Amino acid sequence: MNAEKAQAYWKENIRTILGLLVVWFIVSLGAGVLFINQLNAIEISGVKLGFWFAQQGSIYAFVILIFVYVYKMGKIDEKYGVSE
Amino acid sequence: MELQSLIYLFVGITFAIYIGIAIWAKAGSTKEFYVAGGGVPPVANGMATAADWMSAASFISLAGIIAFKGSDGGAYLMGWTGGYVLLAMLLAPYLRKFGKFTVPDFVGDRYYSDIARTVAVVAVIFISFTYVAGQMRGVGIVFSRFLQVDVNTGVMLGMGIVFIYSVLGGMKGITYTQVAQYVVMIFAFTVPAIFLSLQVTDTFLPQAGLFAQTAFEFNDGVRSIPEGTYLMHALDQAVNDLGFNNYTEPGSVFNMFMLTIVLMAGTAGLPHVIVRFFTVPTVKDARISAGWALVFIAIMYTTIASVAAFSRVNLIANVQNVDYKQFINGELKKADGSTNDGNWFKTWEQGGLLAWNDRNGDGKIQYANGAAFDGKPAFDGKKTAEDGHRLTTNGKGAPTEAELKANNGVANEIYVDRDIMVLANPEIANLPGWVIALMAAGGLAAALSTAAGLLLVISSSISHDLFGQVIFKDKATGKSTLTEKSELRLARGAAVVAILVAGYLGINPPGFVAQVVAFAFGLAAASFFPVIILGVFDKRMNKEGAIAGMSVGLTFTFVYIVYFVFMGGAKEDYLFGIAPTGIGTIGMIIHFVVAYFVSRATPPPPQEIQDLVENIRLPSGAGQALDH
C-alpha cells in the first residue's frame, strides 16, 4: 500500500473515532455529570433523567457505540483493502 | 437440602470445573502461556475479559457503595464501562497489530528504550499487586462467611486453586477458566437480582424495576410509604425522612467529573485488561472483542443500579423499629404475612461487619443518618447482652436533641459495612437456599478470575520483560538469550512467587485496601493510558517525551495520593478542591503536556520507529506479526 493511501485511511479512521467519542462524552460526562442537575428536572416513571444516564443509560450507549465503531471500521478497512 | 451442604455442593462443582479446564488447557509454549497462542475467538475473549474485569469489588462491593452513596455512585458505573469505549477505539486494535506479549513490550519497543521498559515494568507490578491484594481479601471474606472456615484458611484455599490453573495453564488456562467463571458469576448476580426485583416491584427485569412501583407498603420510621409509590420516590422520601441526602441528588459535580475520567482512563490503561487484546487472532477481532466484553459487563452493570436501590429499600423496610430479640429469632412477620427472619443480622454481627447499639434502650433497632459508634464498632470480645446482641466498647450514648431533630426523631443505632449488602441481600429478602449458595460460588468466581488475570500479568512482566528483555538481553542482537523452555520455567516460577506475595497480602492486608484501588486507577490513568495513545497517534513522540511524561505523571499522582490519603493532608489544601480519588485526571493531563513539549524540543524518533507506527495503524498482516 502506498503512503498516500495509508494517510487517507488514517485520516478517515481518526474522523470516525472523533465523531463517536463526541457521542461518548455527551452520554456520560455530559448527561450523567455536567448537566445532571438540568436533566434531573425531567422525570420518567419516578426516575430522574440525569440520574438514569449516570446509572444505566450511558452503559447502553457505550455498547451501541462500540458496535457502530466495529461496523464503520469494517467498511473503511474494506474500502482501502486493509482488512484481513 | 440444608443450606451449608448446598453451598459446599455449588462451590465444589464450580471448582472441579475450573481445575478440569486448567488441565485440558495446559500451556506448552511461552506464546500459549502469555497470550493463549493468540487464537482465542472474540466472543470467548470478550467473556473472559468481562470475568477478568469484574472483580470481587464489582461483585461484592459496588452495589453496596451505590446503595449508600446514591447518585454519586454513578461515577463508578460510567467509569468502569465507559473505559471500554476508549479501549476499543484508541488502544486495543493497534496493540493487537503491534503483536507482542505485554504492555512493557510496547512501551520498550515503541520508545526504543530499556529505561522506558523498566519504568513500565515497575508500574505494572505495583498497579497489579495493589489490585490483587483486594481480590485475595474478597476470597477470604466469601470463604469465611459461606464455608465457615476462617479468613486465613479461606485465602490459602483460594491461593491453591489459582495456583493450579494459572501456573499450569498460563493465559490459555486462565482464559478458558474465566469463560466458565463468567457464566457462574453472571447467574449468581442476576438470579438474586430478579428475585429482588419481583419482591420489591413485581417486575421481572431488574433494569426495568428501577422504573416500577413498590409492591408493598413499608414504614421508614417516620411515615408509612404506601404500596404503588414509584420506587425512586419511595427511596428519596425514606432517606430524606431519616436525615440522609436525597438518593437521586448529586453532590459535587466537579469531583464526580474528575473521578469518572480517572476511572475511564484507568480502565483503559490497566495492564491486565489491555493484555487481553493480544490474545485474539486479528485486529478486527480485537475491536469486536472489546464490544463483546462490554456486552457481558453491561449485563451485570445495568442491574447494579437497581440492586442498589432495592437493597436500600429492603434494608429500611426490614430493620426499622423491629424488636431485636424477636427479629433474630424469626418471630416477626412482614405486612404480607411472610416471616421477617433476622438470622442474617445475627450472622453478619458475628462476623463483625454489622453492629447494633441500643442507644435509646427500647430493645428495637433504629436506622438513620449519623454514627452509632465512634468510628468502626469495637467489639467487647465475645460478650453478648441478654437479648443476644454483641456488646461493643465504643458506642455513642443516648441520642441528642439535635440528632433527633435532624432525623425526624430517629437516631441511628446500627453500623452496616457496605461490603455486605450484595452478599446479605438474598438472606435479607429470605430467598431460597440455592440462591444463597449460588451467590457464594459467584463471589468466589469474581475474585478468583480477577486474581488469576492479575497474577499472570505480574509473572509475565517479570519473566518476559524484566528477565527476557532487560537482564538477559544480548547487547549485539537485541534478543533475549533465554531459551523458550527456560523462559517458560521462569514465568511459572514468577507466578508462584506472585501468588505467595498476594496470599500474604490477603492474610495481612494493608489497612487501606479500599483507598489502594483509587491508587491503581490513578496511576494507570497517569501512565499507560497516555503513553500508549501518544505512541500510536503521535508519530513524532520520542523516548525523551515518553520517559519525561511517564515519570512526571506518575510522580505527581503518587505524591498527591500518598500525601492526602496516607499522610493526613488536610482537605482544605486540595489542589482546586480535587479529591485524591480524582487526581489521576490531572496527572494524565500533565503527562500529555510534558510529553508533547519535551518531544518537540528533542530529536524525532529514528526512521524504523516511525515505520513501526505506520505499520501499527494499518490492520492488515496482524497474523504474521506475532511470529517474529
Q: Do B258 and B369 share a structural domain?
A: no
Condensed to tens digits (0 to 9), the pLDDT of residues B2-61 reads 778 888 888 889 888 888 887 887 766 777 777 777 778 888 888 989 998 888 778 888
CA B79/CA B270 separation, integer angstroms? 13
In a domain, B604, yes or no: no
Q: How many domains does chain B have?
A: 2
For residue A18, pLDDT beyond 90? yes
pLDDT at position B628 is 37
pLDDT at position B59 is 85
Full DSSP string of A13-42: HHHHHHHHHHHHHIIIIIIIIITHHHHTTS
Name the least confident of A5-14, A39-48, B446-455.
B446-455
pLDDT band at B623 (very low <50, low <70, confident <90, very high): low
Residue of chain B nearest A18, judged by CA positions:
B89
pLDDT at position B250 is 86
Tell me the average pLDDT across B67-73.
88
pLDDT band at B329 (very low <50, low <70, confident <90, very high): confident
Q: Do B399 and B454 share a structural domain?
A: no
Condensed to tens digits (0 to 9), the pLDDT of residues A57-69 reads 999 999 999 999 9
B108 with B120: CB under 8 angstroms? yes
Tell me the average pLDDT across B206-217.
90
pLDDT at position B515 is 61
3-state secondary structure B539-585: CCCCHHHHHHHHHHHHHHHHHHHHHHHHCCCCHHHCHHHCCHHHCHH
B307 with B65: CB under 8 angstroms? no
In a domain, B472, yes or no: yes
Burial of B492 (0-12, 13-18, 19+ CB in 10 A): middle
pLDDT at position A61 is 96
Between helix B433-460 and helix B114-146 the angle, nearest 10°, is 160
pLDDT at position B622 is 64
CA B231/CA B255 separation, integer angstroms? 27
Residue of chain B nearest A80, judged by CA positions:
B618
Q: Do B47 and B145 share a structural domain?
A: yes
Condensed to tens digits (0 to 9), the pLDDT of residues B570-608 reads 777 787 878 888 899 999 999 999 999 999 999 999 999
> How many angstroms separate the CA of residue A45 from the nearest CA in chain B?
5
Q: Do B468 and B390 share a structural domain?
A: no
Domain boundary among B416, B450, B468: B416
Condensed to tens digits (0 to 9), the pLDDT of residues B97-124 reads 888 778 888 998 899 888 888 888 888 8
pLDDT band at B514 (very low <50, low <70, confident <90, very high): low
Condensed to tens digits (0 to 9), the pLDDT of residues B175-188 reads 888 899 999 999 99
For residue B627, pLDDT beyond 90? no
| Residues facing residue B225 across a β-bridge | B218
Condensed to tens digits (0 to 9), the pLDDT of residues B426-435 reads 888 888 888 8
Residue from the list B253, B290, B617 with its beta carbon closest to the beta carbon of A66: B290
Element (H, E) at B349: helix B343-350
Mutate to test the interface with A, among B86, B87, B300, B618 (most CBs of A within 10 A): B618
pLDDT at position B398 is 86
In a domain, B209, yes or no: yes
In a domain, B10, yes or no: yes
Mutate to test the interface with B, among A2, A28, A49, A82 (most CBs of B within 10 A): A28
Domain boundary among B389, B416, B443: B416
> B394 lies in which domain range?
354-416
Condensed to tens digits (0 to 9), the pLDDT of residues B534-562 reads 999 999 999 999 999 999 999 999 899 88
B267 with B79: CB under 8 angstroms? yes
Q: Do B302 and B180 share a structural domain?
A: yes
Tell me the average pLDDT across A26-41.
92
Mean pLDDT over the full length of chain B = 85
Q: Do B364 and B296 share a structural domain?
A: no
pLDDT at position B626 is 43
> Which positions in chain B touch A32 (Cβ < 8 Å)?
74, 78, 260
Name the least confident of B32-46, B51-65, B260-274, B390-404.
B32-46
Residue of chain A nearest B614, judged by CA positions:
A6
Mutate to test the interface with B, among A16, A29, A59, A64 (most CBs of B within 10 A): A59
Q: Do B171 and B41 share a structural domain?
A: yes
* Residue B283, all three cell numbers: 485486529
**Between chains, do A54 and B78 touch, taking CB under 8 Å as contact?**
yes
For residue A8, pLDDT beyond 60? yes
pLDDT at position B308 is 92
pLDDT band at B624 (very low <50, low <70, confident <90, very high): very low
CA B432/CA B430 separation, integer angstroms? 7
Q: Do B442 and B406 share a structural domain?
A: no
For residue A71, pLDDT beyond 70? yes
**Between chains, do A13 and B617 touch, taking CB under 8 Å as contact?**
yes
CA B564/CA B238 separation, integer angstroms? 34
Phi/psi for B291 (5° steps) reads: -65, -45
> How many angstroms separate the CA of residue B488 from the nearest CA in chain A?
31
pLDDT at position B595 is 95
Residue of chain B nearest A49, judged by CA positions:
B248
> Which positions in chain A touch B84 (Cβ < 8 Å)?
62, 66
